[in-house]
Amino acid sequence: MTGRILMAVVLFGAPLALGLLLARLRPADGGIALSRLDLLVPAGFAVQLLPMLPRSVALAAGYAILLVWGVVRLTTARGLGKMAFGTLVAGGALNALPILLNGAMPYSASAAELGDGLKGTPIHDGTMLPMLGDVIELPSGKLVSLGDLVLAVGATLTIYLVMRVSQRPASVQIAR
């Protein structure tokens, strides 16, 4: 399994699987219902992949859409939903801050040895908030940031809460 695939599985697949497993083990009421506002999530990810925009513009637009979604959901949520969305917003902010301050995600010098299509900027003496860059090494040898890990926790909580609601009749699942 290549490093990129393993990284995608760890950061995206593991929270999904864990959230689904937790929902199966603790089925109960009290989850969060999906709404039309949640369509901003795939839109935010899709904008980041638009080839006709410069990479920095596409990433900034995608982050902005996702951050707006997270803040709106955070302000309207209650209970565990507030914690889940708060964790997502915190993770997004922890990733956005070093990118905004440095022009790209800083990564540790050891990452240069890994190669694999790095898209950030190496950490140097002038790097602002280097500790928020890609400096945490996974067992696979790939690097992630603190923001990535916080986002993974938030994604797990969100999926868990959405799946708790999905066990109700279909007419109750989607909030209008």
Give this prediction's pTM.
0.76
Q: In angstroms, rounded to a whole number, what is the distance separating the alpha carbons of residues 142 and 115?
A: 10
Q: What confidence score (pLDDT) does residue 1 get?
A: 47
pLDDT tens-digit readout, 15-47: 777 777 777 776 555 678 888 999 998 898 888
What mean pLDDT comes out for the span 39-67?
Answer: 86
- Integer CA distances (angstroms), 146 to 87, 102, 140, 171, in order: 12, 16, 17, 39
The 10 Å Cβ neighbour count of residue 69 is: 21
Tell me the residue type at 174: I
Looking at the chain, the whole-number percentage of residues with pLDDT higher than 90 is 32
Cα torsion angle, 118, 120, 126, 127, sign: negative
Q: In angstroms, rounded to a whole number, what is the distance separating the alpha carbons of residues 77 and 4?
A: 34
* Backbone region of residue 129 per phi and psi (left: phi > 0; alpha: psi in -120 to 50; beta: other values): left
Q: What confidence score (pLDDT) does residue 112 get?
A: 58
pLDDT tens-digit readout, 72-82: 999 999 888 99
Angle (CA) 156 97 76, round 5°: 50
